[in-house]
Structure 1
Amino acid sequence: MLEIKVNHIAQVSVHQAEQQDKPPSLPVKTIKNSPSMMRFKETAQFIIEMMPRKNYGEAGASQKYWLEIKDPKHRDRISLNGLDAQSGALSAWLEDVNNKTGLFQWIDQHPDVEINTLKNKPKHPLSLDVGYINYLSPDQATDYWVTISQGEWKTGNKLLNTTHLPSKAGMEGHAAIVIHRDGNIFVHPYEKGKWQHTSTTEGKPVLSAGMILIEQGKAKSFYLDSGHYMPQRPQLEHLLARLAAQGVNINELDIHAKHIAQNDIKALVRQYSR
């Protein structure tokens, strides 16, 4: 079994002592890759992958969605976490004193466990209202990759049109837009419990995320809005810079950002449209 050597100073001490026929002053400590150690390393790697590079203006997925991202079946976060610390499948799993399995395996074994989504609310079987979020592989995600040339948005060789796609309430005709950390832009449906802003990103950090209305290849309206990524001003700047560089007339784009004043939005548009 692979062993991880620690305490390099101790190893040097042992080697020197052996050369001098003296007992070592410090023992060599080894840590075996036990199942618990492997789980720890896997969790640590997952956390590292979730961390945005703030100096690059990236946004990371909110921690309340991490279980949804980590779940191999990507069950919706409300079914997994609930809306407080005492609800959802996670709470039921923690209450099972006889449990010896991980959360996701336990849920697979107890699909009809009674849960509520908020403390003191009526309970229901998990399977009755669980949603499964689409998390696409990189190959699958290419179907939603868009190119922009001289202000025209295309998927493949076709002009993009989002008006027929499912969307958020109050944002009819708008589709989810995500700028991956490599700069590639993806546009896809938004449908609660099925399609989210993490659907093409595997939950990893992004440069921007929101909702966009595109009619026959022309961008009309944009909302800086994503429950998963909670985008702020740096993410709006990434979007404006990217679109302006691709020939989009951002002066004609109707922009909404609930945490940014309209005067500040107009100033950013002037800045990036030069």
Structure 2
Amino acid sequence: MTISHALINHTTKPTICTTCGTQYPTASQLPELCPICNDDRQYIGDNGQTWMSLAILAKDRTIRFNKLNDQLYDLRISPAFAIGQRAFLILSESGNVLWDCLPYLDEQTVAFIQSKGGLKAIAISHPHYYSLMAEWSRIFDCPVYIHQNDSVWVQHPTPAVDYWEGDRKLLWDGMYLINTGGHFPGSCVLVQPDRLGKNRLFTGDSIYVARDRRAVTFMYSYPNHIPLPKKDIEQIRDRMADVSFDIIYGAFDWMTIAEKGRAVFDTSIQRYLQIFS
């Protein structure tokens, strides 16, 4: 399938928050401050509120693909922009999933994903990674799964968004989403079984991989170092109670726990809850 740049809306109007990467509709007046960044889980940039257009991003950005295994690629904007998170292209027999999203999209990326079978859905862990979801879902003609608890944070409403409810959403081929809460009320993780019968856990910031990769952490705000209350950590523990997993994939390049992820999670939960005892 050939995609022309005309199909990707590289508008010259600044519509993307340069701090968090969230896109706002071109037809709407931009807010004085991005509500996602003005929340105490994020921050307004040191130079104040600034905006970027897709046309400017397109001048010097690409999306890097890194093959992790036969079922999985991670994607990252290069040079880095906004938060700098990675997204994951999860290949599955009944349809591919993009886990989390990026604030940029180009022709080469569309062509690569189409060569792998396109996207059946986009699933997003929390509002900091909503980014360019409306454009991605339009180009790939697929729904975006966001938990109902975080619907208030959607800045670019689109009929493609499926606001799901409850603690879990079943996908296909054994994949499912879990609403852990914590960082945001609608924060989620994705579970995917691999071909060897072990589960991979994709966490975004809902369960945050520590720098030494021997622990995970749970925070209300990571940049502002605001901890979660005990009840939220207990909720994360309870909603993950029956889930086995080995590998943990977090939001940034170095955030991969390659083995014994469940044991790392359990030890980290116990450490946090001991603080409250």
- The reply to whether TM is greater than 0.5 is no
Q: TM (normalized to structure 2)?
A: 0.30
- Larger proportion of helix: 1
The structure having more radius of gyration, on CA atoms, is: 1
- Larger proportion of strand: 2
Q: TM (normalized to structure 1)?
A: 0.30
